[in-house]
């Protein structure tokens, strides 16, 4: 006797439906399990690829950051050397100006200017306006400045020289910053 014969006749259609459902369910479960294994291995491969890509991106970013830091340090070193040079020029100019001030104060140095017309008119008619025999001015007349006025003039020109030195330092800084790919973030 068969197993189907043990099932009562009114329940046989239902039993066949249950058997078909069990077979279909077992097939579906097996297919689901196999698909899970396939997708699991596919996801594992994708995770490995994503991790490798993230590692490559991190390495490239770190290399770029290192390169930019090296560029910034090199730029800072060049700017520091330029700053030292400009500071030395500025202090040398101040020392030279102070030396001129000292020489003016001790009347060791006298400033003079050319007079308009080149000669002083004599108050006496007929007197020659030529230079004296000991002069080397060749007829050009100069007037000496008061030491206080001369010091003010030297002070003004010294301030101008300091301004030009500072301007040269600023221009050097800008030109050095523009030589690099990017301006530094200071």
pLDDT in tens, 93-128: 889 888 887 887 777 777 777 777 644 544 444 444
162 and 79 both lie in a single domain: yes
User: What is the tally of structural domains in the chain?
Assistant: 2
Sole residue written with tokens 């439906």: 17
The set of residues, in sequence order, having a beta carbon less than 8 Å from that of 181 and lying 6+ positions away, is 71
Same domain, 79 and 164: yes
Within a domain: residue 68?
A: no
pTM of the model: 0.47
- Whether residues 109 and 155 share a domain: the answer is yes
Backbone angles phi, psi at 112, to 5 degrees: -140, 160
Q: For the residues of 32-99, what is the DSSP string, one character each?
A: HHHHHHHHHHHHHHHHHHHHHHHHHHHHHHHHHHHHHHHHHHHHHHHHHHHHHHHHHHHHHHHHHHHH
Looking at the structure, tell me whether residues 54 and 86 fall in a common domain. no
Q: What residue ranges of the chain have pLDDT lower than 50?
A: 118-119, 121-128, 137, 186
User: In this structure, are 112 and 45 located in the same domain?
Assistant: no
């Amino acid at each position: 006797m068969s197993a189907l014969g043990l099932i009562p006749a009114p329940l046989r259609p239902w039993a066949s439906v249950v058997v078909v459902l069990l077979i279909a369910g077992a097939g579906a479960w097996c297919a689901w399990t196999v698909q899970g294994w396939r997708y699991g291995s596919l996801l594992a491969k994708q995770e490995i690829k994503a991790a490798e890509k993230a590692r490559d991106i991190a390495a490239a970013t770190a290399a770029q950051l290192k390169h930019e830091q090296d560029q910034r340090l090199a730029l800072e070193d060049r700017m520091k050397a330029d700053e030292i040079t400009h500071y030395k020029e500025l202090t040398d100019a101040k020392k030279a100006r102070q030396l001129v001030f000292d020489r003016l104060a001790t009347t060791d140095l006298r400033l003079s200017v050319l007079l308009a017309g080149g000669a002083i008119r004599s108050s006496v008619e007929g007197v020659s306006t030529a230079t004296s025999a000991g002069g080397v001015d060749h007829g050009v007349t100069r007037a000496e400045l008061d030491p206080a006025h001369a010091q003010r003039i030297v002070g003004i020109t010294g301030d101008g020289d300091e301004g030009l030195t500072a301007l040269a330092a600023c221009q050097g800084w800008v030109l050095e910053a523009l030589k690099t790919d990017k301006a530094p973030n200071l």
